[in-house]
C-alpha cells in the first residue's frame, strides 16, 4: 500500500534545527529530526556559521527519515522557517563570507539610533516599514558591517536572511517572502516591495537581495539534484518560499486570512514574543509591524530575554528551572543580553528588593516574573495595532495562546496565567513553527491555502485553562521597577 504524501517543515532556530515529517493530508506528526547549532560571541556579539545551519538541516532530515520510517519517495514538499533578522553575506559562489550576525547581536545599537534619525524619526520608519530600527533588525547589521568591515561589505555578492540562505540551497533559486522580509527594515509593508530610498540610505544594492515571493507558501522551485542527494530526498519536490519563525508559528496555529484573526499569542523561547494576525497594517513605534506569511499582517513585540535568561538564573542559583516560587518583594529584570522591548541594548540584569528572608526559589520566581511582565506589557499595543480596544470585554475574554518551549513548563504557564489574568490555550503540539512550515510546504505542493491546511490539521488545538484573578500587586511592582530603572539601563 503506497504511503500518504508527506511534507517536511523545517524550524531553523537560534539553537537548533528541527525537521517535522508531517502527513500532508491529516497533519499527523510522524517524526521530528533534530540537530544542534553553535552560537559564538562575547559581550554583544552573537554569530553562527550558516554552513552549520545547512549541516544541521541535513542531519535533522536524516534523523527524521530514520525515526519516521517514511519512504523518501513519499515526500512531496519542503519549507524552511528560520530565525528572523540575521544577516548572511555571501560570495559569488553562494558561500558565506563571514559568520552570520544573529538577531540577538546587539553591536549595531548605535547604527539603529543613527538610521532612525537619518530618516526623520520613528514615525518616518513605521510609515514605510511598519517598524523602527533596533539592534535586532537586519538593516542595522548591514550598516554595522559597512562601518566595521567595509572591504568585506564591498565584496558581498548576495545578502540573505537565515531562512533565505537555506531555501536557496534547497531550490538553487534565490527567494524570500513578505513575512521575513518585513523584519529587515529595507522592505516596505506599505508598498509590498523593497524600498528604494531605504536601500540608498543603507548603501545596499537591490541586486544583492532575493526576489520577494507572493507569500511564504509560494512554490519558488524544486529540490535540486545536488541537495536531494545530500538530504536523501527525491529531486524535484516542491520547495516553498518559507518564512520567519514567528510567521510560521502563526500559520501553524491556523491564524491568518483563512483562519483566526485578532487573537493574541505569546511565544516563550530564547526570545519572548507576543503577536496577533490581523488585516490591519500595523504602524506603531512600540511594535514590529511585520507582514504575515499568508498576505495578512503580524504586529509583534519581541524581547531578547526569556527562557534562556531564566534558565541561566536557575543555573546560577543551582536550582531546577521548575524549583521556583513567586518572587515576594524581589524584582529581577533578567536582561542578560541587553533588551529589545523596551529598547535597552546595553542593559544588564537588575535585582532589587532583596531581603534576609528572600529564598533562592523566590529569586528564580522573580526572574520568571520579570521576563513575563516585560513581554506582556506589549500585549495591549499589539491588540491596538489590529484596531481593537484592549478594554473591550469581548477582546479581553479572548484566550491567550501560549506556545514555544516555555509553554511546556509548569512554572512558565502558571506565571503567565497569574500575570495576564487571561484564559490560556496551550496547543497540544509543541512544534508549531515546524508544523507551520509543513503547511507552507503542503501549500506549495498542492496550491491550497496554508492557513486553511493548518486549520484542517488542528495543529493549534489544545486544552484551555480558565482565567485566574490577575496578580496586580506583582504586575505593578515589576512595572514600577522597570519604568524607574529604564533610564539608567540605557548605558
Q: What is the pLDDT of residues 128-183, one digit of tens each?
A: 999 999 999 999 999 999 999 999 999 999 999 999 999 999 999 999 999 999 99
245 is known as an active-site residue: yes
Q: Which CATH superfamily is domain 6-245 in?
A: ATPase, nucleotide binding domain (3.30.420.40)
- CATH architecture, domain defined by 260-426+461-491: 2-Layer Sandwich (3.30)
Q: How far apart are CA 77 and CA 222, in angstroms?
A: 9
Q: How far apart are CA 91 and CA 301, in angstroms?
A: 33
Q: pLDDT band for 1, please (50, 70, 90 cuts).
A: very low
pLDDT for 342:
86
Options 105, 177, 195, 245, the catalytic residue: 245
From its phi and psi, is residue 404 left (phi > 0), alpha (psi between -120 and 50) or beta?
left
Q: How far apart are CA 216 and CA 261, in angstroms?
A: 18
Q: How far apart are CA 82 and CA 53, in angstroms?
A: 10
The grid cell for 257 is 486570512
The grid cell for 420 is 495576564
pLDDT at 59 over 80: yes
pLDDT for 60:
98
Whether residue 408 is annotated as binding a ligand: the answer is no
The structural domains of the chain, with segments of one domain joined by +, span 6-245, 260-426+461-491
Q: How far apart are CA 240 and CA 251, in angstroms?
A: 14
Q: pLDDT band for 44, please (50, 70, 90 cuts).
A: very high
- Peptide bond preceding 342 in cis form (omega within 30 of 0): yes
Q: How far apart are CA 336 and CA 316, in angstroms?
A: 13
β-partners of residue 141 are none
Please give the mean pLDDT across all residues of the chain. Answer: 95
Whether residue 85 is annotated as binding a ligand: the answer is yes
Summarize pLDDT for 222-240 with one digit per residue, the tens: 999 999 999 999 999 999 9
Which of 131, 166, 459, 431 lies closest to 298 in space, CA to CA? 131
Amino acid at each position: 500500500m503506497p504511503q500518504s504524501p508527506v511534507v517536511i517543515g523545517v524550524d531553523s532556530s537560534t539553537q537548533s534545527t528541527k525537521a517535522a515529517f508531517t502527513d500532508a493530508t491529516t497533519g499527523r506528526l510522524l517524526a521530528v529530526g533534530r540537530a544542534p547549532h553553535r552560537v559564538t560571541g562575547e559581550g554583544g556579539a552573537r554569530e553562527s556559521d550558516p554552513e552549520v545551519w545547512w549541516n544541521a538541516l541535513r542531519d535533522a532530515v536524516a534523523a527524521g527519515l530514520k525515526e519516521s520510517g517514511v519512504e523518501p519517495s513519499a515526500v512531496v514538499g519542503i519549507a524552511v522557517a528560520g530565525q528572523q533578522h540575521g544577516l548572511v553575506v555571501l560570495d559569488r559562489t553562494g558561500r558565506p563570507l563571514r559568520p552570520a550576525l544573529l538577531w540577538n547581536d546587539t553591536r549595531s545599537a548605535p547604527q539603529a539610533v543613527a538610521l532612525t534619525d537619518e530618516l526623520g524619526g520613528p514615525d518616518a520608519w513605521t510609515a514605510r516599514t511598519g517598524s523602527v530600527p533596533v539592534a535586532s533588525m537586519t538593516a542595522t547589521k548591514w550598516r554595522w558591517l559597512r562601518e566595521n568591515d567595509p572591504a568585506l561589505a564591498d565584496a558581498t555578492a548576495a545578502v540573505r536572511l537565515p531562512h533565505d540562505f537555506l531555501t536557496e540551497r534547497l531550490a538553487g533559486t534565490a527567494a524570500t517572502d513578505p513575512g521575513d522580509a518585513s523584519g529587515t527594515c529595507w522592505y516596505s509593508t506599505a508598498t509590498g516591495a523593497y524600498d528604494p530610498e531605504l536601500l540608498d540610505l543603507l548603501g545596499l544594492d537591490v541586486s544583492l537581495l532575493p526576489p520577494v515571493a507572493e507569500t511564504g507558501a509560494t512554490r519558488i522551485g524544486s529540490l535540486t539534484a545536488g541537495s536531494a542527494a545530500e538530504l536523501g530526498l527525491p529531486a524535484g519536490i516542491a520547495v516553498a518560499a518559507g518564512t520567519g519563525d514567528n510567521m510560521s508559528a502563526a500559520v501553524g496555529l491556523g491564524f491568518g486570512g483563512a483562519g483566526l484573526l485578532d487573537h493574541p499569542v505569546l511565544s516563550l523561547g530564547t526570545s519572548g514574543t507576543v503577536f496577533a494576525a490581523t488585516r490591519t497594517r500595523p504602524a506603531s513605534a512600540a511594535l514590529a509591524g511585520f507582514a504575515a506569511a499568508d498576505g495578512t499582517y503580524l504586529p509583534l513585540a519581541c524581547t531578547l530575554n526569556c527562557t534562556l535568561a531564566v534558565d541561566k538564573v536557575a543555573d546560577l542559583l543551582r536550582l531546577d528551572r521548575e524549583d521556583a516560587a513567586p518572587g515576594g518583594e524581589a524584582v529581577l529584570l533578567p536582561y542578560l543580553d541587553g533588551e529589545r522591548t523596551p529598547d535597552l541594548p546595553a542593559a544588564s540584569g537588575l535585582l532589587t528588593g532583596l531581603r534576609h528572608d528572600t529564598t533562592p526559589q523566590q529569586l528564580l520566581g522573580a526572574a520568571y516574573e520579570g521576563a513575563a511582565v516585560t513581554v506582556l506589557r506589549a500585549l495591549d499595543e499589539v491588540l491596538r495595532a489590529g484596531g481593537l480596544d484592549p478594554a473591550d470585554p469581548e477582546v479581553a475574554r479572548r484566550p491567550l495562546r501560549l506556545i514555544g518551549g516555555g509553554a511546556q513548563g509548569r512554572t512558565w504557564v502558571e506565571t503567565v496565567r497569574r500575570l495576564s489574568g487571561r484564559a490560556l490555550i496551550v496547543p497540544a503540539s509543541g512544534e508549531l513553527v515546524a508544523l507551520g512550515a509543513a503547511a507552507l510546504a503542503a501549500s506549495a505542493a498542492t496550491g491550497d491555502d496554508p492557513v486553511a491546511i493548518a486549520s484542517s490539521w488542528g495543529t493549534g488545538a489544545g486544552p484551555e485553562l480558565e482565567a485566574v484573578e490577575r496578580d496586580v500587586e506583582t504586575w505593578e511592582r515589576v512595572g514600577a521597577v522597570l519604568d524607574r530603572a529604564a533610564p539608567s539601563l540605557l548605558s
